[in-house]
């Protein structure tokens, strides 16, 4: 009786855990449900997955119009899908080998590109024969979607990092934006303390436990968490240690306010609680929602790490690339991308003022639209400046285990801020990443 009941309990608890077990069983029937679109079936229609109606979807719609000028029958079927959903769908489709469920073109986060293309090589079509000239993109950006020398993605939005500052707060403390141009982090901190004393405004804000800031500093010196062979280089990484030192000093001095969520971070900018922010240029969209601060902002390059070889004032954060799926009408899809995102100044001239989408395609920078002054940034032609920065961003190896390494480094930073010895914490992080890779 008792044994029977225990058996029944095991069965019952088994049922509880099942949800989890089923989750990890690799989705045997999941992919077939849901989308019934017949993508890649030829004709003149391409299916596209992208996630932001005001940004990348808008850009796709404009690209459709551009391509329609020469190909009147051409049509896009754009499906809105968040990045998390695209990632889950890709995983499920690849695990179930149901590649016919893929659209023709989909947007991929740059930081996740390597991971997906290496784990699931059958998802992507190589762009070797597409005729797209990848030398017209900054090397650092194209590198995200290049595996073993083969390009798999057309870089779309620029993640080029900018240091956007409130000139009104700076002038209260007697500074101008020029004082923050081409400086080192040491100077930056000194001036930051001064501004905090005089005005009470911290310079920066950011999510606690997010390593975005550190990763930007690392890339600005061309450094990464991995060497060229893909081995983790978290310990004995001078650039990383310098970055962590700068970061923790800024937090301790109160120059950098840590908040808990992305919303809080955006609020700190829009509500005018901080004097500046350092992030990818896409942040300008959020900044400009604070119309009352119009004219008070200016953009310059990043501070550089002192005493680190190859340290520059240029970096990147985020950004995404268009990939052609293995299931696509390859000829049409590649020609479409080649004639639009990798070949149409008109397209970029439309989407820049329309959505603030800064091109990665270098020839677009010659357009006059880029040299237009932007009122919100006090008449500065910020997009032209951003393109100049973009061309100088050092490339670094993100690798397959980028997310694991980032998480591990974030955890290490939290521990270091909590008083743990840096070497120990970084060694633990390295062990965690090596474990994940084993």
Partner 1 sequence: MTTPAALTELGDTKKSMKRPKGPSPKLSPAARRRSLTGWAFLLPAAALIGIMMFWPMFQALILSFKTGRGTNLAFADPLWFNYTRMLHDEVFIQTIKTTMLYLVIQVPIMLISALVLANILNNPRLRFKGFWRTAIFLPAAISLVSYSLVFRTIFATDGLVNDWLLALHLIDGPVNWLGQPGTARMVIILGLLWRWTGYNMIFYLAGLQNIDPTTIEAAKIDGAGPLRTFFSVTIPQLKPMILLTVIMSINGTLQMFDESFNLTQGGPANTSMTMSHYLYKVSFQNNPNFGYGAALSYVILIMVAILAAIQMKVGDKRD
Residue number, 6 or 139, with CB nearest to partner 1: 6
First CA to last CA across the chain, in angstroms? 46
148 binds partner 1 (CB under 8 A): no
Among 158, 160, 396, 410, binds partner 1 (CB under 8 A): 410
Count of residues binding partner 1 (CB under 8 A)? 60
419 binds partner 1 (CB under 8 A): no
Q: Which of 403, 391, 322, 406 is nearest to 160 (CA)?
A: 391
CA separation for the pair 243, 35 (Å, rounded): 45
160 binds partner 1 (CB under 8 A): no
The 3-state DSSP composition of the chain as helix, strand, coil percent (nearest 5) reads 50, 15, 35
Please report whether residue 423 would count as binding partner 1 according to CB under 8 A: no
Which of residues 69, 171, 260, 423 is near partner 1 by CB under 8 A? 260
- Residue with smaller CB distance to partner 1, 122 or 129: 122
Closest to 238 measured CA to CA, from 111, 395, 437, 423: 423
Q: Which is nearer to partner 1, 259 or 278 (CB)?
A: 259
Question: Are 359 and 388 a contacting pair, CB within 8 Å?
Answer: no
Helix (H, G, I), strand (E, B) or coil at 302: coil
**Residue 179 in contact with partner 1, rule: CB under 8 A:** no
Residues 117-136 that bind partner 1 (CB under 8 A): 118-120, 122
How is residue 155 written in tokens?
Answer: 């870089």
Q: If binding is defined by CB under 8 A, does position 431 make contact with partner 1?
A: yes
400 near partner 1, rule: CB under 8 A: yes
Q: Does 61 bind partner 1 (CB under 8 A)?
A: no
Q: Please choose, out of 6-14, 40-48, 296-304, 334-342, the segment that lies near partner 1 by the rule CB under 8 A.
A: 6-14
Q: Which of residues 82, 174, 375, 435 is near partner 1 by CB under 8 A?
A: 435
Q: Which is nearer to partner 1, 190 or 267 (CB)?
A: 267
Residue 435 Cβ, how far from partner 1 at the closest point, in Å? 6
Under rule CB under 8 A, residue 14 binds partner 1 = yes
The answer to whether the CB of 40 falls within 8 A of the CB of 104 is: yes
Query: What is the number of residues in the chain?
Result: 438
Give me 389's structure tokens. Answer: 């920065």
Shortest distance in whole angstroms from residue 209 CB to partner 1: 4
99 is a site residue for partner 1 (CB under 8 A): no
Write out the two tokens for 254: 């109160």
Closer of 23 and 70 to partner 1 (Cβ): 23
Q: Are strands 146-147 and 150-151 parallel, antiparallel or unpaired?
A: antiparallel
Least separation in angstroms between residue 212's CB and partner 1 is 14
Residue 404 to residue 411: CA distance in whole angstroms = 11
Does residue 291 belong to the site contacting partner 1 (CB under 8 A)? no
Determine which helix (DSSP H) or strand (DSSP E) holds 305, and give its type and residue range. none
CA dist 276 and 203 (Å) reads: 5
In angstroms, what is the minimal distance from the CB of 302 to partner 1? 25
CA distance 264 to 262: 5
Does 70 contact partner 1 by CB under 8 A? no
| Among 59, 81, 94, 304, contact with partner 1 (rule: CB under 8 A) | 94
Does 229 help bind partner 1 (rule: CB under 8 A)?
no
Q: Which two tokens stand for residue 252?
A: 């301790």
Q: Are 46 and 339 spatial neighbours (Cβ–Cβ below 8 Å)?
A: no
| DSSP sequence for 86-114 | HHHHHHHHHHHT-GGGS-SEEEEEHHHHH
Stretch that binds partner 1, among 62-70, 161-169, 259-267, 323-331 (CB under 8 A): 259-267
DSSP state string for 61-89: HHHHHHHHTT-TT-EEEEEE--HHHHHHH
Interface contacts to partner 1, rule CB under 8 A: 1-2, 4-6, 8-10, 12-26, 28, 87-88, 91, 94-95, 97, 115, 118-120, 122, 208-209, 258-261, 264, 267, 400-401, 403-404, 407, 410-412, 414-415, 418, 428, 431-432, 435-436, 438
């Amino acid at each position: 009786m008792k044994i029977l009941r225990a058996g029944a309990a095991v069965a019952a608890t088994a049922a509880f855990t099942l949800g989890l077990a089923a989750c990890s069983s690799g989705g045997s029937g999941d992919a077939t449900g849901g989308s019934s679109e017949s993508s890649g079936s030829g004709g003149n229609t391409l299916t596209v997955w992208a996630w932001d109606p005001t940004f990348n979807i808008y850009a796709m719609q404009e690209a459709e119009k551009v391509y329609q000028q020469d190909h009147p029958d051409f049509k896009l079927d754009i499906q809105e899908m968040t990045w998390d959903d695209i990632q889950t769908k890709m995983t499920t489709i690849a695990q179930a080998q149901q590649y016919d469920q893929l659209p023709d073109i989909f947007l991929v986060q740059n930081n996740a590109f390597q991971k997906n293309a290496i784990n699931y090589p059958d998802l992507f079509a190589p762009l070797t024969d597409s005729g797209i000239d990848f030398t017209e993109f900054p090397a650092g950006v194209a590198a995200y979607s290049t595996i073993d020398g083969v390009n798999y993605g057309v870089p779309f939005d620029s993640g080029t990092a900018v240091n956007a500052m409130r000139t009104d707060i700076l002038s209260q403390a007697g500074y101008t934006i020029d004082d923050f141009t081409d400086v080192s982090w040491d100077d930056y901190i000194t001036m930051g303390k001064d501004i905090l004393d005089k005005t009470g405004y911290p310079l920066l804000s950011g999510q606690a436990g997010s390593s975005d800031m550190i990763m930007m500093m690392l890339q600005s010196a061309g450094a990464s968490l991995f060497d060229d062979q893909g081995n983790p280089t978290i310990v004995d990484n001078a650039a990383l240690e310098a970055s962590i030192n700068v970061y923790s000093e800024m937090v301790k001095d109160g120059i950098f306010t840590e908040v808990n969520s992305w919303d809080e971070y955006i609020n700190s900018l829009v509500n005018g609680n901080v004097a500046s922010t350092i992030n990818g240029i896409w942040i300008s969209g959020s900044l400009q929602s604070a119309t009352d601060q119009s004219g008070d902002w200016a953009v310059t390059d990043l501070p550089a790490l002192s005493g680190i070889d190859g340290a520059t004032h240029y970096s990147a954060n985020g950004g995404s690339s268009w990939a052609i799926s293995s299931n696509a009408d390859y000829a049409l899809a590649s020609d479409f991308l080649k004639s639009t995102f990798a070949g149409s100044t008109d397209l970029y001239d439309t989407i820049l003022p329309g959505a603030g989408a800064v091109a990665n395609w270098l020839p677009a920078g010659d357009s006059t639209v880029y040299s237009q002054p932007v009122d919100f940034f006090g008449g500065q032609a910020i997009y032209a400046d951003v393109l100049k920065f973009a061309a100088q961003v050092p490339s670094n190896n993100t690798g397959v285990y980028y997310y694991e390494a980032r998480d591990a480094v974030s955890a290490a930073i939290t521990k270091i801020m909590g008083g743990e010895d840096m070497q120990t914490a970084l060694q633990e992080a390295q062990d965690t990443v090596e474990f994940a890779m084993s």
